[in-house]
Chain A
């Protein structure tokens, strides 16, 4: 294994110092967020754009439920609930943050579970270190999104994403080698990246938008690294997953496999209500 353990440790420590700086900056905005939240609670306002967006989303859900359940009593009952006026605590910003929290919780749990697998725990040192660091970064993202939810007066989402949790549960017994773990992690990172991208222009609160943009870039880097690692594993180049790596030995495709398109799409984005309470 061509891993310079001492250098890797130094890099991780250096990165952790940078994380601490970033977290200090993030925490500094929390009082301002609380002020915004207090203002919002006092006025109990929800903007017209939020109402329109939320109601459009609900109308779509009602239509889908109507198609599924026909004209039966269940459909009427559920549609009736969804047709109730939008309350302040159901603001779209909060829904987006709750869904983001749910994705971060699931990511933390998934990386945590992966680290218990022997071929990760005792496998490639860089892959293991990446899993540990990425899990920690996701947990800090969770904390930030939850703090923001609270600051806006919402209920904090404490549970994993309801759509993807069953998928991860089903996948866990099939994770028999590092490549499968990397594929699963890459999928979760892609869902998070695209969800945050698709959510940016739905925000009314600009501070929330800024936070999500700062997290989005980091998730996209996780995705890029996982794509490169997946390709190296698939091509029998596990030894090249090292820090520092042997750049001269990397295949040409290593220079482009991490970003297949010039623009990030959003086809895998989760809608705001997916992880909302």
Chain B
């Protein structure tokens, strides 16, 4: 009798398919793009008075008394460093000329700030859920749910770190506060959560908002590296949502085309 998940099948190990699939792109190249995006934002900061720095939250909504945000620092992800970008390869790709356009770079900066604020919100909320689970406030927590929350929070922390790296490279302030519009809404919803199902529903809402926001941002972003970064995160958020749907007893892929109705505007 095999232990469940002891031998996870990996389709990429199929030798014939793996040999065929030798695309010119890599995750390393994707992660190396942060410096390029940041360079674009620097250009925007110099050439536009509507730069990203004007939209970066500096204080957050400290009066919202969010249960979620109080635990962020105690739940640092364990895997964030494993995907640290290799910026040494950045120069080999050459600069992205689209980023020289100030208006586009300013737009990218706003979206980076928005994205980072959503990621802070997700990290905080998952952190609060873990704390609540640890205290017994959610009742019995199935192992798969605990694992999901831990891993999803780590993913969002990595996403946040990446966007902050982009902002820092541009000289813009890093985002440490959750999205000010959504934070009180999520806090109010979290206050109503009394069990695992309620927590999963709230997590699903957050993942759907994030996924829709990234999807809606993709045609607006101007930097090629920013598009690649946002797209690579959009995918992970869609996947988080699929597994949450499965856990909640819903069909895991309910839509044929990604929806935008929950997207947050920059």
Contacts and interface: CB of A to CB of B under 8 A. Distances in A.
B257 A214 contact: yes
Interface string B209-240: 00100010011000011011101111110111
Contacts of B22: 267
Interface string A264-277: 11111111000000
Interface string A10-53: 01101100110011011000000000000000000000000000
Contacts of A227: 8
Given A167-B17, A214-B215, A221 B253 contact: yes
A22 B212 CA distance: 14
B70 interface: no
Interface string B132-148: 00000000101111111
A256 interface: yes
A55 interface: no
Contacts of B5: 231-232, 234-235, 251, 253-254, 257
Given A234-B7, A262-B158, A265-B27, A163 B255 contact: no
Interface of B: 1-9, 11-12, 14, 16-17, 20-27, 29-31, 79-80, 83, 140, 142-151, 154-155, 158-159, 162, 196, 211, 215, 218-219, 224-225, 227-229, 231-236, 238-243, 246-260
Given A231-B9, A266-B26, 14 more contacts: A167-B17, A187-B14, A190-B11, A194-B23, A200-B218, A201-B225, A217-B234, A218-B256, A236-B1, A236-B4, A253-B147, A266-B23, A269-B24, A269-B25
Interface of A: 7-8, 11-12, 14-15, 18-19, 22-23, 25-26, 130, 133-134, 136-137, 140-141, 144, 163-164, 167, 170-171, 179, 182-184, 186-187, 190-191, 193-195, 197-198, 200-201, 206-207, 209-211, 213-218, 220-225, 227-228, 230-237, 243-245, 247-259, 261-271
15 contacts: A137-B253, A140-B257, A167-B16, A170-B16, A209-B227, A210-B218, A218-B256, A224-B242, A230-B11, A231-B9, A251-B5, A252-B143, A252-B146, A253-B4, A266-B29
